[in-house]
Structure 1
Amino acid sequence: MKIVIVGAGIGGLATALSLEAAGFRDIEIHERTTEIRGLGVGLNLLPHAIRELTELGLDDRISTLGVAPATLSYMNRQGQLIWSEPRGVEAGYRWPQLSVHRGRLQLALRDAVIERLGDVIRLGHRLIDVRTGDHGREIARFENADGLKVEAEGDVIVGADGIHSALRALRYPAEGAPPWSGLTLWRGVAVVPEFLDGRTMIMAGDPEQKFVAYPLAAEPGDAGARVNFIAERRGTGSPDADWNRSVDPWPIAALFEGWTYDWLDIPAVISAAEQILEYPMVDRDALPRWTFGRTTLLGDAAHAMYPNGSNGGSQAILDARTLAFHLATEPDIDPALAAYEHARRPAMTELLATTRATGPERVMQIARERAPEGFADVHDVISAEELEEVANGYKRAAGFHPSTLNERASLSAVRA
């Protein structure tokens, strides 16, 4: 069986590694860019994703890339604690959570693909069409960097080409651009004094304005803690912003004037950024169908969602493992693709709706609505039971409640 993957991001590379582990060797990855440069800022790999990477034999190389946060804390604009919970192994998981630089993760997965499968990545290939050939195989047509047309024939074609997926656009040509939430994100990395215990991820603010920060692995020469941050505000920016556009940090820092606490100076963190990239906060509407013939969607191409809950990259890895499992265990391709979609699409439809409702960050919204000027005791505003239900409800929807994840059967399988 030959499998063609469109896209060499986290989802596409994880798909190739999952397929190889399941006994598939005839794999090609076609990537639009002419170089995999390992761009981006930080992301969080939640325990369900670390479990899959561990079962792929990648835990040693992935663990060196980041920091395992022990705590996640939600604050209001005044820096008062709303809710705090342990993360990773401290929360009872068998696997940690890991905060990593997205680019370093992508390069590590790329290297693993080359080691295990050889020269299977085709760079500078932009998907322009897919059709079914005379013998029932799918034929993907690409334009390469020289403008030449190149075809790749496969038994299965997987669209893992991101929120602006070309394969998705071929299947849903009237869909248009991703809908904008009205929020703009500014993402960056800064080296600053260590805050709290050095292993805490914080979210401060509410749905109108928010700041997120968590530590990353140190690099040589760092004179402090290397921190990834996301600054977010509604009503500023544009849905048409270039996602790779670098902006001046000073106006962004000014938006957070007064957000200075005894444990973190937020304007100072923003001002210290090596670079700030501006992103419109967009997602994609849930789809009624991912699979057409023997082509299917995966990761952001299938279910791009807001970063509420830090779950996009982790869910792409879950998609990859689930697809490989069903291709290995079902008797034919068509029931395998149907089983993959049945396992993943309804769950992702529910999760997408949850992230639009701010996911676990809903506790910040409740605190803002009930006590906009702050509180003496958070339980005067929100009961402990309500806080716990918001947190646990999101974990259940995302598939990483500790008991669910620890007891779930493995997705490792080898084709007969």
Structure 2
Amino acid sequence: MRIAILGGGIGGLAAALSLHAAGFHDITVYERTPQIRGLGVGINLLPHALRELTELGLADRIERIGVAPRTLSYYTRRGQRIWTEPRGIGAGYDWPQVSVHRGRLQLELLAAVRERLGDVVRLDHQLVGLRSAGDVEKLQLVTAGGPVEVDADVVIGADGIHSTLRRILHPGQPGPQWSGLTLWRGTARVKPFLDRSTMIMAGDGEKRFVAYPISPPDESGRVVLNFIAEQRAAGQPGVDWNRSVPREPIVELFRDWTFDWIDVPGIIAASDELLEYPMVDLDPVDRWSFGRATLLGDAAHAMYPNGSNGASQAIIDGRVLAFHLATEADPVAALARYDEERRPAMAALLHGNRGGGPERVMQLAYERAPEGFDRIEDVIPHDELVEAATSFKRAAGFEPSQLSARESYSVRVGAR
């Protein structure tokens, strides 16, 4: 079976590795850029993603390039703690959570693809059209050397939020939808805060700061800290992932956010580079799979970063898709089964993220006690805090007992 994957990002590369592990060997990845440079900032891989990476034999090499946060804490914009919960192994999972630089993760997956599948990544190949010819999908691609046509039995669109395949399959759909929030993302080598591995989120629905280390301390005790600063109705809504902006205006926006346990303006000022992003997602669609073509990752379900699920869900997409292709004789039926299993859950998660996801506790604290509080339990009852965290884990598929009880997606069949 000839499988064409559009996109050499985390989702596309993880899908290639999953398909190879399931016994498929005629796999080609078509990446639109002329070079995979490993760009970006930090992301979190949650335990449900680490389970899949473990079963692919990749967890150890991913853990070596990241940090396993032990706790997640929510704070108000005054620096008052709202809620703290353990993460990863300490929360009862069989798999850790790992905070890692997105670019390093992408390059690690690329290296694994080349080791296991060989020279299957074709750079500088941009999809411009697709047509069906019986049981074959014909991809029209543009390269530096001119147009080419490729035949495939299955086409997987892992080509991101600006997916060409999504536009072909859903020509009437709008593009990215702006939340009204602007994010400024960066990394800084600074002294760690709290226990040196905690992930923190502070603020409310209007203004927020997120930070977590993506490297262990160096000889001077400093870590590489990934951070996200957010504000509503600021910046520009245009989707440009590489817009570098001056640090000073953003430092001023957060000038008062200096607490006894973290110096937010100091972290922003120490950043190597500050990138401005709009917080965007894509409206859910009623189908991902059309015959022998389907969508995966951000191309299928780009969502707000609330709950840190984007990359994790893309990895799971690839595993589920590989499982159904390996266990269904008909690839059209396999893609339909993948669609049925993944799409409704991701649509619900996307809508949940639009409501704030687990981070809505920060907005609740602000709405109920804008001037602060003496005891958080007087503002948000403990059971309500627990339910906010637990309900999101259930929706995203990584509540500890739920994740451990789920059947594995690992399957091995003969070469295809």
TM-score range, shorter chain: over 0.9
User: Are 2:195 and 1:197 aligned?
Assistant: yes
User: Are 2:347 and 1:349 aligned?
Assistant: yes
Residues 198-229 of structure 1: per-residue CA shift (max 9 Å, x gap): 01000000111000000111487766121000
Q: Which residue of 1 aligns with 2:27?
A: 27
SS at match of 1:212: strand
Contact conserved, 1:329 with 1:414, CA < 8 A, in 2? no
Contact conserved, 1:191 with 1:222, CA < 8 A, in 2? no
SS at match of 2:180: strand
User: Are 2:135 and 1:136 aligned?
Assistant: yes
Q: Which residue of 1 aligns with 2:404?
A: 406
Q: Which residue of 2 aligns with 1:323?
A: 321
Contact conserved, 2:4 with 2:29, CA < 8 A, in 1? yes
Contact conserved, 2:252 with 2:265, CA < 8 A, in 1? yes
Distance 1:177 1:351 in 2: 19
Corresponding letter in the other structure for 1:385? D
Q: CA deviation at 1:29?
A: 0.3
SS at match of 1:100: strand
Equivalent positions of 1:23-172 (< 5 A) are 23-133=23-133, 135-146=134-145, 148-172=146-170
Q: CA RMSD in A?
A: 1.1
Residues 128-183 of structure 1: per-residue CA shift (max 9 Å, x gap): 001012x421111110124x111111110000000000000111222233111110
Corresponding letter in the other structure for 1:323? L
Q: Does 192-201 or 169-178 show the bigger shift?
A: 169-178
Distance 1:152 1:76 in 2: 53
Distance 2:240 2:213 in 1: 26
Contact conserved, 2:48 with 2:403, CA < 8 A, in 1? yes
Contact conserved, 1:327 with 1:415, CA < 8 A, in 2? no
Distance 2:252 2:136 in 1: 56
Distance 1:329 1:200, change over 3 A: same
Corresponding letter in the other structure for 1:138? E
SS at match of 1:296: strand
Distance 2:89 2:255 in 1: 36
Distance 1:331 1:294 in 2: 13
Instruction: Choose which of 292, 295, 299 in structure 1 pairs with 2:293.
Output: 295
Percent identity of the aligned residues? 61
Q: CA deviation at 1:59?
A: 1.2
Corresponding letter in the other structure for 1:129? G
Distance 2:376 2:329 in 1: 55
SS at match of 1:257: coil
Structure 1 residues without counterparts, runs of 5 or longer: none
Corresponding letter in the other structure for 1:139? K
Runs of 4+ deviating beyond 6 Å: 219-222
Distance 1:274 1:66 in 2: 19
Distance 1:39 1:201 in 2: 22
Residues 361-398 of structure 1: per-residue CA shift (max 9 Å, x gap): 01001001000111000001000000000000000000
Corresponding letter in the other structure for 1:95? W
Q: Which residue of 2 aligns with 1:178?
A: 176
Distance 1:222 1:360 in 2: 35
SS at match of 1:116: helix
Using the size of structure 1 for normalisation, the TM-score is: 0.98
Residues 61-111 of structure 1: per-residue CA shift (max 9 Å, x gap): 111010000000000011111011000000000000000000000000000
Q: Which residue of 2 aligns with 1:392?
A: 390
Q: Which residue of 2 aligns with 1:261?
A: 259
Residues 242-300 of structure 1: per-residue CA shift (max 9 Å, x gap): 22011111110110111111000000000000011100100000010001110000000
Corresponding letter in the other structure for 1:238? Q
Distance 1:209 1:219 in 2: 29
Structure 2 residues without counterparts, runs of 5 or longer: none
Q: CA deviation at 1:308?
A: 0.2
Corresponding letter in the other structure for 2:126? R
Corresponding letter in the other structure for 1:103? G
